[in-house]
């Protein structure tokens, strides 16, 4: 079995032509627990970045520190190149006094931040940790991730994700068909990409077709192509997706939506490794690795007569079932951190991450839209957050509202464990917590102003003060 090495320390790339600076900076960063690689100019740095993506590595570079002025290729051109292939990696520019204009230009071109030389150690560390989307506290938290060529990552530390990484490593480079199942937004397409990029077919095409998005009448010709005159409107011949994917991977997404007639043809193609275009007589041999995905229950579709059982067994040689996010709560923190980093770069924000109290709230939410929903919510939260570190009150209402419901449920469950607790007591406790949460939220929203919070809660200022006393809360009251 292939074991994946785990590197708990973020990997940093330094590009600077001054060897003394490289030495001092590397030593300092290593002492701080980072892994460091250095390059003497942009050309070398880009080569290292490229190698890190194509090699079978589990810890790609997570940040780059680059000098603006270097021989061969300077920091600016390097930044330009990185925007094409490594847009997710934050770049911190180092600049000598007098070249601040250039640095500002670099920021416009997508650099994460810049520091003037001689840099301050603490400032550099702070910027670097921000760039990594980590608070200084969890900077060294272990992560598990699988780098893909296109800069995408499969993030996850949970047992299920580790197992997934293993499966991908083992089957990527085989010709066996893979059927990926999982709820919407669990990463099916991402896994299909990973299988392709980790295989010897990586340099060949990856062709995706969404079976649900193409009208039934056109699917067959889309898949297998057609000859001139095959049907009305076929004025030229056209290759299908199978031909386009030759030597590479064909990803049939939403395979559960494939019409039964096309299922028959697909089955034959899989059995014989060849096909004819619609209206054609020439047999075309193919070398295509087939990966399929669905969020439908295919067993049920088989039982209902919508999916052919024989095709199912052909497709399901390697089954990969992706767990839903609510079943692997441990991954929510690392995923949220990953998305913070991504959107900091993409949206030019400087959010440090989620506070210790915010993460459990994210973990309580059931995430019906799985990772896609998490990604969207992180983006939205970052745009509207009032703090550099996202606090519980910065979270969107659906998460907060759900948290309350959860708490209530939890308290009610107490009844089952301790029979002595009366229902009255349970309700009292639940009300107490709910009330306290509402008050805290109102106070936070009104910057601690009791009068305004009372107005918002539609209770008198006096009774709010009494309740706050009960709850041990304090506001910043200015008499009005």
Which residue ranges make up the site for ligand ATP (CB under 6 A)?
152-156, 182, 184-190, 295, 335, 338, 371-372, 375
Report yes or no: 191 and 292 within 8 Å, Cβ to Cβ.
no
Print burial letters for 376-397: b (CB count within 10 Å at least 16), e (below 16). ebbbebbeebeeeebbbbbbee
Phi, psi values for residue 360, rounded to 5°: -60, -30
- In the list ligand ATP, Mg ion, none, the entry touching 182 (Cβ below 5 to 8 angstroms by class) is ligand ATP
Closest CB 303 distance from Mg ion, rounded Å: 24
- In the list ligand ATP, Mg ion, none, the entry touching 457 (Cβ below 5 to 8 angstroms by class) is none
Which CB sits closer to Mg ion, 189 or 393?
189
Which CB sits closer to ligand ATP, 170 or 387?
170
Q: Which residue is nearest to ligand ATP (CB)?
A: 187
Write down the residue that tokens 């910043």 correspond to. 476
DSSP label at residue 257: G
Q: How far apart, in whole angstroms, are the C-alpha atoms of residue 370 and residue 384?
A: 21
Kindly give the pairing relationship between strand 35-39 and strand 11-15. parallel
Closest CB 363 distance from ligand ATP, rounded Å: 16
Which CB sits closer to Mg ion, 189 or 425?
189
Which CB sits closer to Mg ion, 181 or 449?
181
Closest CB 331 distance from ligand ATP, rounded Å: 7
- In the list ligand ATP, Mg ion, none, the entry touching 184 (Cβ below 5 to 8 angstroms by class) is ligand ATP
Closest CB 189 distance from Mg ion, rounded Å: 4
Which CB sits closer to ligand ATP, 291 or 395?
291
Window of 46-54, 57-65, 118-126, 185-193 that interacts with Mg ion by CB under 5 A: 185-193
Q: How far apart, in whole angstroms, are the C-alpha atoms of residue 217 and residue 237?
A: 17
Window of 22-30, 183-191, 225-233, 462-470 that interacts with Mg ion by CB under 5 A: 183-191
Print burial letters for 316-326: b (CB count within 10 Å at least 16), e (below 16). eebebebbbbe
- In the list Mg ion, ligand ATP, none, the entry touching 194 (Cβ below 5 to 8 angstroms by class) is none
Strand partners, 37: 13
Binding to Mg ion (CB under 5 A) within 228-267 occurs at none
Window of 138-146, 184-192, 229-237, 412-420 that interacts with Mg ion by CB under 5 A: 184-192
Measured torsion, CA atoms of residues 231, 233, 236, 237, in degrees rounded to the nearest 10: -40
Closest CB 249 distance from ligand ATP, rounded Å: 15
DSSP 199-243: STTTTS-EEEEETTTS-HHHHHHHHHEE-TTSSTT--S-EE-HHH
Which CB sits closer to Mg ion, 177 or 344?
177
Which CB sits closer to ligand ATP, 324 or 449?
324
Closest CB 370 distance from ligand ATP, rounded Å: 7
Which CB sits closer to ligand ATP, 138 or 221?
138
A 10 A CB-CB count for 159 gives 11
Closest CB 294 distance from ligand ATP, rounded Å: 8
Handedness of CA 131, 10, 125, 118 (dihedral sign): negative
Kindly give the pairing relationship between strand 153-155 and strand 353-354. unpaired
Task: Return the structure tokens found at 201.
Answer: 């077919």
Phi, psi values for residue 50, rounded to 5°: -65, -45
Closest CB 371 distance from ligand ATP, rounded Å: 4
- In the list Mg ion, ligand ATP, none, the entry touching 306 (Cβ below 5 to 8 angstroms by class) is none
Closest CB 207 distance from ligand ATP, rounded Å: 16
Q: How far apart, in whole angstroms, are the C-alpha atoms of residue 325 and residue 366?
A: 8
Which CB sits closer to ligand ATP, 189 or 445?
189
Q: What's the half-sphere exposure (Cβ side, CA atoms, 13 Å) at 140?
A: 8
Strands (E), 24-95: 35-39, 63-67, 91-95
Which CB sits closer to ligand ATP, 279 or 369?
369
- In the list Mg ion, ligand ATP, none, the entry touching 392 (Cβ below 5 to 8 angstroms by class) is none
Report yes or no: 149 and 54 within 8 Å, Cβ to Cβ.
yes
Closest CB 8 distance from ligand ATP, rounded Å: 18
DSSP 322-368: PPPGGG-GGGHHHHHHHHHHHHHHHHT----EE-TTHHHHHHHS--T
Window of 13-21, 35-43, 186-194, 331-339 that interacts with Mg ion by CB under 5 A: 186-194
Report yes or no: 146 and 136 within 8 Å, Cβ to Cβ.
no
Closest CB 146 distance from ligand ATP, rounded Å: 8
Task: Return the structure tokens found at 332.
Answer: 């929510």
Verify binding: residue 189, Mg ion, rule CB under 5 A: yes
- In the list ligand ATP, Mg ion, none, the entry touching 372 (Cβ below 5 to 8 angstroms by class) is ligand ATP
Q: How far apart, in whole angstroms, are the C-alpha atoms of residue 393 and residue 361?
A: 10
Which CB sits closer to ligand ATP, 227 or 375?
375
Q: Which residues bind Mg ion (CB under 5 A)?
A: 188-189
């Amino acid at each position: 079995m292939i074991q994946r090495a785990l590197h708990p320390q973020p990997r940093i790339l330094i590009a600077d032509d001054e060897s003394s600076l490289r030495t001092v900076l590397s030593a300092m960063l290593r002492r701080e627990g980072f892994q460091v690689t250095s390059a003497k100019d942009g050309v070398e740095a880009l080569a290292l970045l490229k190698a890190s993506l194509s090699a079978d590595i589990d810890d790609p570079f997570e940040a780059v520190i680059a000098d603006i002025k270097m021989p061969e290729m300077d920091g600016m051109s390097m930044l330009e190149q990185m925007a094409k292939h490594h847009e997710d990696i934050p770049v911190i520019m180092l600049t000598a006094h007098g070249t601040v204009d250039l640095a500002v230009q670099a920021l416009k071109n997508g650099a994460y931040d810049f520091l003037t030389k001689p840099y301050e150690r603490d400032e550099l560390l702070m910027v670097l940790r921000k760039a990594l989307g980590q608070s200084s506290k969890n900077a060294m938290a272990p992560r598990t991730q699988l780098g893909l060529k296109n800069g995408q990552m499969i993030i996850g530390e949970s047992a299920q994700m580790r197992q997934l990484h293993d499966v991908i490593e083992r089957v990527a480079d085989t010709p066996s068909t893979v059927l990926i199942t999982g709820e919407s937004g669990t990463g099916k397409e991402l896994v299909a990409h990973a299988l392709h990029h980790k295989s010897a077919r990586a340099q060949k095409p990856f062709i995706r077709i969404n079976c649900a998005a193409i009208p039934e009448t056109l699917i067959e010709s889309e898949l297998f192509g057609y000859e001139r005159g095959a049907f009305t409107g076929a004025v030229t011949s056209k290759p299908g997706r199978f031909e386009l994917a030759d030597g590479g991977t064909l990803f049939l997404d939403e395979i559960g939506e494939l019409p039964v007639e096309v299922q028959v043809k697909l089955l034959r193609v899989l059995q014989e490794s060849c096909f004819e275009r619609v209206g054609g007589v020439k047999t075309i041999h193919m070398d295509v690795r087939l990966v399929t995905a669905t969020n439908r229950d295919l067993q049920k579709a088989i039982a209902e007569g919508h999916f052919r059982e024989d095709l199912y067994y052909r497709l399901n040689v390697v089954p990969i079932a992706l767990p839903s996010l609510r079943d692997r709560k441990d991954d929510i923190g690392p995923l949220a951190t990953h998305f913070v980093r991504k959107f900091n770069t993409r949206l030019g924000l400087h959010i440090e991450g989620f506070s210790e109290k915010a993460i459990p709230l994210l973990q309580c939410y059931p995430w019906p839209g799985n990772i896609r929903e998490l990604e969207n919510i992180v983006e939205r939260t970052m745009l509207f957050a009032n703090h550099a570190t996202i606090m519980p009150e910065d979270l969107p209402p659906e998460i907060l509202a759900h948290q309350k419901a959860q708490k209530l449920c939890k308290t009610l469950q107490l009844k089952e464990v301790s029979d002595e607790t009366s229902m009255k007591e349970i309700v009292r406790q639940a009300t107490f917590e709910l009330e306290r949460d509402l008050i805290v939220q109102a106070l936070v929203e009104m910057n601690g102003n009791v009068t305004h919070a009372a107005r918002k809660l539609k209770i008198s200022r006096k009774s709010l003060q009494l309740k706050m006393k009960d709850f041990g809360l304090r506001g910043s009251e200015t008499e009005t």
